[in-house]
Amino acid sequence: MTHTRGELFDPVFGADALAENISDRAWVEALLEMEAALSRAAATVGLVTGDDAATVTAVSARLAEPGGIDISDLGRRSASGGNPVIPLVRTLRAACAGHGVPAAAVHVGATSQDVMDTALMLLSRRAGRVVVSDLRTASDAAADLARHHRSTPMVARTLGQQALPTTFGALAVSWFTGLDAAADALEHTLSTLPVQFGGAAGTLAATAPRGLDLADALADELDLARQVVPWHTTRTPVAALATALGIAAGAVSKPATDITLMASTEFGEVAEDAPGGSSAMPHKQNPVAAITARAAARRVPGLVSTILSSMDHEFARAAGAWHAEWETVTDLLRLTGGAAHRLASSIGGLRVDTDALDRNLSLTGGLILAERVTGALSEYTDSARDIVTAAAASGVPLDRAPDITAHLSADTLRDLLDPSHYLGHAVDLVDRALANRAAPPARTTGGHR
């Protein structure tokens, strides 16, 4: 599987702002944070002394600092056991032993999966909040456009063809309502990410009879949701996260696609404030932010599929399906976050060319108002649809077709063929969407109990 990561491509696809939250260093920090919290939680239930827990926390913090752990070396030592927790715990225990902390006070009753899963929840919550922030920035910018252009006429297109008049504001409503819904869903999912603690086989045997108390104390230490039972092989939390990220990427794709098409030379209806050029064609003004947002988002569904197809964890520990999640979720965060970041840049500086909107609105010479003319003509003849269809097919303007002018006056046709007079509830829909957005439901991203 190809990954977008590193100094060359992260800025292109918008992931540079997110990089520090999903880097290998961020993974190590989350693993160590879990280990430190586990020792503190064990102290609260009497399994570890408070002094030992404080030392484990201090040593973990020192190891998490740049230079504290050689990540390349850790990766090499991880190969034999199939995950980085095994060598990391060995390193942590050795460092704590120098301060008189017994090995039993580190990694208390845990298995590698407990640490990996909980670290993944911590990393996802932090990175996910950045994704939500960019989704909301993009949505705010789209809402501003909707407000400013609530009644600016443009043509609505269906199946790639001109259909009826609408407003640019109504189009922007479709952007920000989708982004808002996706941001709300992702934010809720982040707020429900649970701790994972089950021990070697999910029975918490090593910490019985305090295992359940220890799991709850660990969740509280990390501000994650308490687990009902260990979810070693019930992967709905990971699947819910992946699905929410997939929906968010899809919500980004909609406006990114519209902007890319509307910025084309033939349409010329919008332009980014900092378009990209071409290495060969000096005249090019490419909507690069929208294009790269779309590019990043297009890779997300396949990764979501990987997570969903990896939910069949056998018995009490999966062989391979679990391991497939780590980089996949990390890449989901990277790509969805990058797409949202690039879209926020695109919409935030989008320029709308109302002259181009008007030009394209009149491109068919009034044929986009055929529905309205048919309705008016039907009051005089049962053949209204056939008459208007024939006129449209002949290329004769509707206000000059004899079978139409025989029944409808020039003034009536002038009114009927005015796009601004056939906007339906477009302006009302903009106002309604903005009013609904002004009083959103309470949003939280912290853990719950």
Each residue's pLDDT tens digit, 285-313: 789 999 999 999 999 999 999 999 999 99
Catalytic residue, chosen from 129, 298, 317, 385, is 317
- 147 catalytic, yes or no? no
Residues recorded for the chain: 449
Supply the pLDDT for residue 219.
98
In order of their start, the domains of the chain are 19-356 (1.20.200.10), 367-416 (no CATH)
* Rounded (10°) CA dihedral 97, 98, 101, 106: -40
pLDDT computed for residue 283 by the predictor: 45
What pLDDT is attached to residue 280? Answer: 41
Are 12 and 276 in contact, with CB atoms under 8 Å apart? no
User: With contact defined as beta carbons under 8 Å apart, do 14 and 341 qualify?
Assistant: yes
Average pLDDT in the 72-85 region? Answer: 96
Nearest to 215 by CA among 447, 44, 32, 26: 44
What are the E-state strand segments in 190-296? 270-271
Return the closest-CA partner of residue 38 out of 261, 249, 204: 204
* Residues 60, 93: Cα–Cα separation, whole Å: 10
Contact 372, 169 (CB under 8 A): no
Catalytic residue among 264, 278, 305, 383: 278
Tens digits of residue pLDDT in 8-31: 788 888 888 889 999 999 999 999
Average pLDDT for the chain: 93
Confidence of residue 1 (pLDDT cuts 50, 70, 90): very low
Q: Rg of the chain's alpha carbons, rounded to an integer?
A: 29
Position with higher pLDDT, 443 vs 125: 125
CA dist 34 and 30 (Å) reads 6
**Which range (115-119, 188-192, 264-268) has the least confidence?**
264-268
Q: How far apart are the first and last CA of the chain?
A: 37
What's the mean pLDDT in 75-80? 96
23 is catalytic: no
Whether residue 4 has pLDDT greater than 70: no
Q: Which helix (H) or strand (E) holds 268?
A: none
Is the separation of the CB atoms in 419 and 151 below 8 Å?
A: no
The yes-or-no verdict on residue 275 having pLDDT over 90 is no
